Amino acid sequence: MWHCLQTLAKFIKREAKPALVMFYAPWCGFCKSLKPEYAEAASELKDDVILAAIDVNRPENAMIRTHYNITGFPTMIYFLNGQPKYTYEGENKKAAIVAFMRNPSAPPVVKQKEPEWSETDSEVVHLGGNSFDPVVKAEASVLVMFYAPWCGHCKKMKPEYEQAAAIMKKEGIPGMLAAVDATKEQSLASRYSVKGYPTVIYFEQGERRFDVNVREATRIVEFMREPREPPPPPPPERPWADEEAGDVVHLNEENFKPFLRKKKHVLVIFYAPWCGHCKKTKPEFIEAAARFRDDPKVEFAAVDCTVEQALCSTNDVKGYPTMKYFSYYTKNTRVYNGGRTADDFVRFMLEPDKLSNNTPSPPTPENLSWFSDSTVIHLTDRNFTQTLKKRKVVLVMFYAPWCGHCKRMKPDYIEAAKDLASQGYDQCMAMVDCTENPEVTEEYEISGFPTVKLFKDGKFVTDYKGKRTTEDIKSFVLRYFSKDEL
């Protein structure tokens, strides 16, 4: 750990240029949103200053975190001649970072405080500790949104909620849409067991009935027209580590190093329970492990990265599944890039040093077909926002390669894209593989496949709920182009 601190200090001291260092954690939402802005600022300033970043969530960087008193993420410190001079207090935007680096001693631009939601004009009724019970009891039908001002999902839902309230008033739909700031009204949040934001609860005649998972204006209005309790969610999947003891060893921060140091050959799969490719690989991995049950030199192990975030960060896991081969922990470590069938795993573990056993398998015809058509834009975590901002109207299909409904919809979706391109509406349809792009999947709360959303000028407009046929998809997209052309 001390070595890492010394290395950072030497780097900063060696640089003649001023340096800005971002101290971050991979799980931090603000860090993720800052990343593209920081990268653009670094590109613009590359001839004059150094912009660097360090993951202080990694165990080996713990001393760096302590030395610079990093208590929140992201923290950015300006260094000159090897010494920390200023802490950056500005906005997490490229322009603000560039302005700071060109004049770090200038007082930070004070960001104008946003008015509280309750201070803005809308048809949403804002409730507090004194008003909650009387108002909710006086109304026959009330939907209450418990929110936190800093919550990104709440900010995204807020305009939808306001729009729904306005529609209800205009169309004379009975009921009330109300909101409670759970950070201020903690006793109310505690009374209704609010543990995440936003939490939306339906009340009838003053009594709590059930929680509701509606966040778009159209769905909120539909619900308030005819309030019905949603079906119960499916039971949560049993964690792999909790399944009956098998031949795969489940590792965590405590037993990872001790276990690997004693083993000659170990193949470790770093996975996420929601990952489609992981689910597909799991039975093959288990079968391969079973074949080596009687061989004490060979082990198959697994790490759940949603639980062991620091461990996965330390092992440079950037996607799922990531598989790594270890021999006595440090003697011979490398990423496994071979095929994902039981036979592939067995072949590799019989001769782990044979290069041909660790070459990527060619893509299957099925996987190639997802990406073979140039009329459909293929979006990722890296290019999603920038690509959509450059186009007026884009329909985006969020899919998983293993999903049967996605496979059935795919040919119609691609055909619709081709037809639209032939009419002059080129590259207005896109796809996102949710098994490979967790950030976008989480941001847009994709919980089922396929999910299709329409964007205008980079902003989400509405979900596509129509039939999954070429003509219906095409008509839906053209409707939004027509609105712009009128």
Known catalytic residues are 275, 278, 403, 406
CA distances from 409 to 420, 449, 478 (A): 17, 10, 19
Would strands 199-204 and 207-211 be described as parallel, antiparallel, or unpaired? antiparallel
Would strands 125-126 and 176-181 be described as parallel, antiparallel, or unpaired? parallel
Residues 1 and 314: their CA atoms lie apart, in Å, by: 13
Q: What angle do CA 102, 108, 114 make, to 5 degrees?
A: 130
Count Cβ atoms below 10 Å from residue 220 Cβ, excluding itself: 24
Residues 17 and 47: their CA atoms lie apart, in Å, by: 9
Q: Are 239 and 282 in contact (CB under 8 A)?
A: no
Q: Which H helix or E strand runs over 126? A: strand 125-126
Nearest to 456 by CA among 483, 437, 419, 420: 483
Would strands 376-379 and 429-433 be described as parallel, antiparallel, or unpaired? parallel
Q: Based on the number of CB atoms within 10 Å of its own CB, is 351 exposed (0-12), middle (13-18) or buried (19 or more)? A: exposed
Residues 100 and 128: their CA atoms lie apart, in Å, by: 40
